[in-house]
Structure 1
Amino acid sequence: MSAETIYDFEVKMIEGGMKKLSDFKGSVMLIVNTASQCGFTSQYKGLETLYKTYSNKGLKILGFPCNQFGNQEPGDENEIKNFCSLNYEVTFPLFAKVDVNGENADPLYKFLKKQSKGIFGTEFIKWNFTKFLVGKNGDIIKRFAPSDKPEDMTKDIEEVLK
């Protein structure tokens, strides 16, 4: 069976166990591939600020660690979770490490890339901290580049939360 909506996916939590994305129906999601040793790692702070500011209005941030770019996420799930908690006080959900490109790309990321292409129409994710904004009905609204800072996304997020 191939997925027809984002709600057809089930993803592995960083602590283990599975989470159905259908649990987020009616919420706005920001799905981000993350890394602990990246030039953009400080975006964790901005993502956490967005989460604290808008979670009570329906924003869910989902972090997916990825080691495909410059080996910048070499740790295991426990090390990643501890790093995020200790250094950035991350409270939004983190998931198990995934590939976002290539034949072993996580099915969720294959779906996201097909629904919202990058610059010049490519599906390829070019680096850590690529972000996908998903509306309350599951539509992929916008794809943000790694260089797009979380604090610069507030207008888009507020518009989708309406």
Structure 2
Amino acid sequence: MKLKNLIHYKDFDSDNIIFHSLTQSTDDEILTYVINVTSDLLNEVFLSDDFKISSKENLINYDERDLGELATYMCITPFAQSTLAKGTNWQEKATSYLECFIGYIIGTMDKEEFLGNLIEMREMLNISNKFYTGLVIYFSENKKTIINGILNKLQF
């Protein structure tokens, strides 16, 4: 699926806002964004050798759905941060979303908590089930590109 095909998954006005924002970029740019942010986050935090190994193994072993959810999480995080910035103490919550993302990849955060945060962001942004499903499918179909891109950029 191409990014532009997400038009068929829009249900709510909020879906349209996110769709419009995403389609200002090309498919390659969106995938590169997910690859770069994920690899940069993993490269910039201190990880013991065990966590470095776990992160690579987890990335390799994610099935298409897992990877689709992981990439969707990273894709909507900036929108969630923008929404949170309208409140007080938003930095703490925004940071916790990124910590959860990293924790899930390195294996210190379980899938249920990760998905709980993903659902929380989805609800905060009023993303419809249909559009959310479209995002997960879009990224799932690009699993190989995303995983290979992240692994190639890891500096460990």
- Structure label with greater radius of gyration: 2
Task: Please indicate, yes or no, whether the TM-score normalized by the shorter chain is above 0.5.
Answer: no
Report the TM-score when normalising by structure 1.
0.28
- Name the structure where strand makes up a greater proportion of residues: 1
State the TM-score, normalizing by the size of structure 2.
0.29
